[in-house]
């Protein structure tokens, strides 16, 4: 099927949302944990975590335009300066999905979705106990994307918890850690390793 600009513009809102949220290909499934300055914890699903650099260790994610009702994650990050990123595991993918419901300010998604807070090394933001692969980040910068009002939120990694079995031949194997991918707004995938190729050197290009 082929959509050009005109036919994309003419799609109804829901079809357009579903298609445009799927076209990047698979997205990483993560939960971001935060706490407000008043001590209310928050947990929200994000599929937009992106690697920015390894030295310093920077990750970004896209926050939608802020309103009173949504956007507690960015508000909490700006209040406390820290947050956690927790890989979604197939065992709790459904619970993770439902963190996207619009819970009131004083309801923690940890409670509502039956996931457990855990605290590591005096890091202020809550980790997800059920997640086997997780990180604590220090907030560095929020860059406004004026084209559509979204925000690129950047943090530096300060804590990493990785399951020991995920280290395979010096690399991290997301099939072993049972990482989850997302497409569109509501479809979840498990991962199966199909290949691992060496660093690509100009004088070592294979005969395909």
Minimum distance between the CB of residue 70 and its own copies, rounded to whole angstroms?
12
* C-alpha dihedral, 127 to 128 to 129 to 134, nearest 10°: -70
Tell me if 71 contacts its own copies by CB under 8 A: no
Scan residues 123-182 and list those touching its own copies (CB under 8 A).
Answer: 133, 135, 140-141, 143, 145, 147-148, 150, 152, 154, 157-164, 167, 170-175, 179-181
Nearer to its own copies, 37 or 193 (CB): 193
In this chain, which of 36, 48, 79, 118 binds its own copies, going by CB under 8 A?
A: 48
Checking 5-13 for CB contacts under 8 A at 24+ apart, the result is none
Nearer to its own copies, 37 or 187 (CB): 187
User: Which is nearest to 86 in space by CA: 177, 191, 171?
Assistant: 177
Q: How many Å apart are CA 32 and CA 73, to the nearest integer?
A: 8
Where does this chain touch its own copies (CB under 8 A) — which range of 15-23, 32-40, 71-79? 15-23
Minimum distance between the CB of residue 75 and its own copies, rounded to whole angstroms?
20
Mark 158-183 as b/e (b = at least 16 C-beta within 10 Å).
ebebeeeebeeeeeebbeebbbbbbb
Q: Which residue has the tokens 């290949």?
A: 195
Q: Would you call the peptide bond into 13 cis, given omega within 30 degrees of 0 as the criterion? A: no
Where does this chain touch its own copies (CB under 8 A) — which range of 34-42, 43-51, 73-81? 43-51
Joined together, the tokens standing for residue 35 give: 């706490």
Scan residues 77-106 and list those touching its own copies (CB under 8 A).
Answer: 85, 87-88, 90, 93-95, 97-103
Minimum distance between the CB of residue 36 and its own copies, rounded to whole angstroms?
20
Tell me if 66 contacts its own copies by CB under 8 A: no
User: Which is nearest to 131 in space by CA: 70, 90, 98, 184?
Assistant: 90
Tell me if 53 contacts its own copies by CB under 8 A: yes
């Amino acid at each position: 099927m082929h959509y050009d600009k005109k036919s994309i513009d003419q799609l109804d809102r829901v079809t357009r949302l579903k298609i445009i949220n799927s076209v990047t290909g698979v997205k990483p499934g993560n939960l971001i944990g935060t706490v407000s300055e008043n001590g209310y914890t928050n947990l929200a699903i994000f599929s937009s975590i992106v690697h920015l650099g390894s030295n310093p260790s920077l990750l970004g994610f896209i926050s939608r335009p802020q309103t009173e009702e949504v956007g507690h994650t960015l508000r909490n990050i700006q209040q406390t300066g820290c947050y956690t990123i927790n890989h979604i595991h197939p065992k709790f993918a459904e619970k993770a999905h439902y963190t996207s419901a619009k819970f009131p300010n004083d309801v923690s998604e940890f409670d509502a979705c039956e996931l457990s807070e855990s605290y590591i090394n005096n890091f202020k933001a809550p980790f997800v106990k059920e997640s086997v692969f997780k990180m604590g980040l220090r907030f560095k910068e929020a860059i406004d994307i004026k084209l559509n009002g979204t925000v690129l939120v950047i943090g530096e990694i300060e804590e990493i918890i990785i399951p020991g079995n995920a280290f395979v031949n010096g690399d991290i194997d997301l099939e072993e850690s049972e990482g989850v991918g997302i497409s569109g707004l509501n479809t979840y995938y498990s991962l199966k390793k199909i290949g691992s190729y060496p660093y690509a050197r100009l004088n070592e290009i294979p005969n395909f």
